[in-house]
Chain A
Amino acid sequence: MPKGGGAGQVGRRVAKDPFREAMNGGMFRQFFEASRQAMLLVDASGEIQHANARAGMLLGYGPGELRGQPAENVFPGQAVAGHLEAGEHRAGADLYVELVGLRRDHSQFPAGVQVVPVATALGRAAVLSITDLTDQQRANFLLELGLEALGSADRDREALLGHLIRAQEEERDRIAAAIHDDTIQLLTGSNLALQQLRLRLREPEHVVILDRLAETLTASMARLRQLIFDLRPAIVRDGTITAALQDYLEQMRSDTGINYRLEDSRTVVAPARTSMLIYRTAREALLNVRKHAHAKHVQVQLRDVAGGSLVRIVDDGVGYSPADIEERPGHLGLLLMRERARAAGGWCRVESMPGGGTTVEFWVPVDGPLANGDGERDRAA
């Protein structure tokens, strides 16, 4: 017998759920009305039972005008009933969909709709929480336009760099050829003429002056030949990078004491222009080792990989912090290595850390963009 109950009083003690009572009472309504989010309360048949003030403002309806209308009127032709049903089946979890909303004046807007199933005194229902996505979509559109413009500018930059790199090689070819065909020939002729003049001189002091002049001419020709080699290494032009790199590494060891190991296991010979690019990129990396690394040893590996040449240059030097180097302007060497590889249709990775040496790895395809037109400007040095 329940406490306080009299004889004959049969009662059933019903558990009270204060939250449910609050939902069915004033608290839910207060929340619904006060929300800054546009909300519709839709019953199981898809009919709008209540719309808050925000929803009225968003959709262009006055107070009470939405009540009794099917939710389909606000989202015509978009299977709203199906979404409501889907929301119910998600075991209390909400559902988010993007629909096209229709205002009273028949204007449309992109809408993000959250469907939240609720239990009310009248049975199952759903709260549709509606967000106007117009501003967000406009911002996304502008952002995509901006990104597309950036992408386009980047592609133009890349194309320009590729063109500049090719133009640089062509100019080097031209200058090397001009020096060889013109200047060196003149100097050689002058040296011969001096030798002939020497035979006719009688005064010993005149012979001494002439000998000094001949030495100067010989030294000038040697420097010009070195310049031609730097501009257009004959060995690289003929497709063999290894000897050119070996020469460079030997010179580096002689000048700085940096030991090296050079391994070339390639069997595919790259076209001359591609070989030249590989050589110059590797040389740029080795130049950095020479100037900055304070290394004791550098390893250079060349391999055939997936239809291209992979080059790996690893030193045991002081390394650098990417944050200090890459994020400041002016370090063109790293940029040039990457852009050269990309201009040739390949990729380049340069990684380092303080005290941990530096690794440069790049790959260029044998049949990349630079391979086109090979042979057009090949001339004997």
Chain B
Amino acid sequence: MVKSVFGPHTPRVLEVLAGVSALSAAQIDLVARAWHQASDLERAEAWARLWRAGPAPEGYWVMGAASAARQAAKDAARKLGRADWAFWAAAWDAAAAVAGDGPADRDYEILTGPLATVMPALKRACIGAQPPGLAGRVPAQRDAELRQAARGGGHA
């Protein structure tokens, strides 16, 4: 496995990408809602501290992970007919925190919080317990949502 594309935490970032791609429409809505409810200022502060904490090459890893997660989230949302950008903003934040080199617990919690509502393994206490992608979903449910979205239903 390629180990270093997103820095030393690449395996975890890849788990986040896989998990984001497998969420249901309802879970996407939950994440978006949680993101809107969180504090903009706290989030910006957490980002600023995360960004300042790591000189290059960590900055590239952080931004690369964030961009990849954002794209994965946008693709997942588009397939399920979801357009609230707060979802892929949440994915952006979470992947950056995971890729960053040891952000403070509070900052990590702020940045991963919205996505952790549906991917509880993102929480720091759960690191190593199980892959973040296991969100308790039945594959058939997601397939049904994708079919409905393709027919133009748009809602799970």
Contacts and interface: CB of A to CB of B under 8 A. Distances in A.
Contact of A303 (B41, B47, B60): B41
Interface string B41-55: 100110111011000
| Majority secondary structure of chain B interface residues (helix, strand, loop or mixed) | helix
Interface range for B: 20 to 34
A305 B92 CA distance: 20
Interface in A307-322: 307-308, 310, 312, 321-322
A151 interface: yes
A305 B45 contact: yes
Interface residues of A, number: 30
A312 B40 CA distance: 10
A151 B83 contact: no
Interface string B17-37: 000000000000000000000
Given A147-B2, A147-B5, A155-B60, A306 B85 contact: no
A307 B49 CA distance: 9
Interface in A285-337: 303, 305-308, 310, 312, 321-323
Interface stretch (A113-121, A188-196, A350-358): A350-358
Contacts of B57: 151, 155
A223 interface: no
Contacts of B138: none
Interface of A: 140, 143-144, 147, 151, 154-155, 303, 305-308, 310, 312, 321-323, 342, 345-347, 349, 351-354, 356, 361, 363, 365
B63 A322 contact: no
20 contacts: A140-B1, A140-B2, A144-B5, A154-B60, A303-B41, A306-B48, A306-B49, A307-B48, A308-B48, A308-B52, A321-B83, A322-B74, A323-B78, A345-B51, A351-B88, A353-B84, A363-B47, A363-B48, A363-B51, A365-B52
